[in-house]
């Protein structure tokens, strides 16, 4: 291993320590990163030139070696740890990973251009959160690849209702009603953007008919008081870090009827222990409400803060149980 490659491993270890990964995870990530660097050196491939193909080939070889050494196949999720370590290494070595897709033909160039414009519109004009943007972009890439593969670069100009129906039939064969409704909403957004930017001749978004869903149609409308009590009693028995966190969250939900976002965004300074008041921030209106801090809620939150919450600079109360320690989604 060359000096520059050793420096990469040292830098990787420092980054993982800084993000508070556990020593076991750090050791595993760095071990697989070293083995991958040895593989690259054997094949004469600089880190800067690695592509997803090389990573996939290495993981296939690693899985084959696993079978040879242990006489059995690795589990379905075995590749996740070596893959994560390699990806972390390549983010340091290349500055970005996975790499930006390369243009192989005119259809690719059109698809990348449309998606870049669409992403800017979703962020700057619609003001969507990154998670929503990612979901909308996934649908856009899938639809554009499907349409341009069928019809070439002129496939957008001649887009018809029949094309939309064929695409929705394809998507509907693999999705639940709820997921299909979400796909329809994302496709409507893309079609409005395509019409707005004059890439299609007509606005086809009104022709997308999504399945009708009813709020909470698959779950009981209410939980009986004894059921809520049973859930809280059950979770109170779990003293793991995740159990302490979940019990505190359920106490907040059961006591105050808060939204998930209101619990997720609750910060340490929102609890006034002296005044026995909890401040709830409302994400939709940006206002807040002061509520009395009920004893079971306070005890559950205090137990989590003392024994369950990982060490982190984040001000939100409820944090992921695995590194990197940040607000869960």
pLDDT tens digits for range 230-289: 989 998 999 999 999 999 999 999 999 888 889 998 999 999 999 999 999 887 777 889
Q: What value does the mean pLDDT of the chain take? A: 87
What's the pLDDT score for residue 108?
84
As given in the structure block, the two tokens for residue 324 are 């990197």
How do the domains of the chain map onto residue ranges? Answer: 3-94, 106-207, 225-307
Query: In this structure, which CATH number among 2.60.200, 2.40.370, 1.10.150, 1.10.230 belongs to the domain 106-207?
Result: 1.10.150
What's the pLDDT score for residue 224?
80
Residue 329 has pLDDT above 70, yes or no: no
Angle at 25 between CA 23 and CA 31, to 5 degrees: 100
Residue 272, strand partner residues = 277
What's the pLDDT score for residue 151?
84
What's the pLDDT score for residue 328?
64
What's the pLDDT score for residue 274?
92
What's the pLDDT score for residue 1?
54
Residue 59 has pLDDT above 70, yes or no: yes
Q: Classify the phi-psi angles of 320: left when phi > 0, otherwise alpha if psi is within -120 to 50, otherwise beta.
A: beta
Which residue in this structure is represented by tokens 């992403």?
119
Which residue in this structure is represented by tokens 């109360």?
317
What topology is assigned to 225-307 in CATH? hpI Integrase; Chain A (1.10.443)
Residue 3 has pLDDT above 60, yes or no: no
- Residue 277's H or E segment, with its range, is strand 277-281
Cis peptide before 115 (omega within 30 of 0): no
Weakest-pLDDT range from 200-204, 226-230, 281-285: 281-285
Tell me: the pLDDT tens digits for 77-135? Answer: 888 888 989 999 999 888 877 776 677 788 888 888 999 899 999 988 888 888 888 89
* CA dist., res. 8 & res. 15, Å (int): 10
Spell 155-166 as b/e; 16+ CB within 10 A means b.
Answer: bbeebeeebbee
Average pLDDT for 157-178: 87
Nearest to 273 by CA among 298, 252, 236: 298
What's the pLDDT score for residue 96?
79
Residue 157 has pLDDT above 90, yes or no: no
Q: What percent of the chain has pLDDT over 90?
A: 39
Predicted model pTM = 0.47
């Amino acid at each position: 291993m060359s000096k520059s490659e050793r420096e990469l491993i040292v830098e990787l270890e420092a980054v993982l320590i800084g993000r508070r990964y556990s020593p076991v995870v750090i050791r595993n990530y760095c071990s697989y990163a070293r083995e991958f660097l040895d593989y690259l050196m054997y094949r004469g491939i600089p880190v800067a030139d690695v592509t997803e193909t090389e990573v996939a080939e290495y993981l296939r070889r690693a899985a084959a070696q696993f079978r040879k050494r242990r006489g059995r196949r690795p589990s379905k999720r075995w590749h996740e740890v070596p893959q994560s370590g390699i990806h972390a290494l390549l983010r340091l070595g290349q500055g970005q990973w996975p790499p930006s897709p390369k243009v192989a033909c005119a259809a690719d160039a059109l698809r990348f251009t449309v998606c870049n414009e669409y992403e800017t519109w979703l962020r700057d004009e619609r003001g969507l959160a990154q998670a929503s943007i990612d979901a909308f972009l996934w649908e856009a890439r899938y639809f554009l690849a499907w349409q341009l593969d069928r019809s070439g670069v002129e496939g957008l100009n001649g887009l018809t209702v029949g094309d939309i129906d064929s695409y929705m039939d394809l998507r509907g064969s693999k999705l639940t009603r709820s997921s299909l409704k979400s796909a329809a909403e994302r496709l409507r957004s893309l079609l409005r953007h395509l019409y707005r930017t004059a890439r299609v001749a007509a606005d086809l978004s009104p022709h997308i008919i999504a399945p009708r869903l009813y709020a909470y149609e698959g779950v009981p409308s209410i939980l009986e008081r004894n059921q809520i009590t049973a859930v809280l009693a059950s979770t109170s028995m779990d003293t793991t870090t995740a159990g302490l966190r979940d019990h505190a969250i359920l106490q907040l939900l059961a006591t105050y009827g808060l939204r998930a976002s209101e619990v997720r965004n609750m910060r340490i300074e929102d609890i006034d222990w002296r005044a026995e008041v909890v401040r709830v921030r409302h994400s939709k209106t940006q206002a807040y409400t002061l509520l009395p801090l009920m004893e079971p809620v306070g005890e559950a939150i205090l137990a989590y803060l003392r024994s369950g919450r990982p060490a982190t600079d984040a001000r939100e109360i409820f944090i992921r149980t695995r590194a990197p320690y940040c607000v869960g989604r």
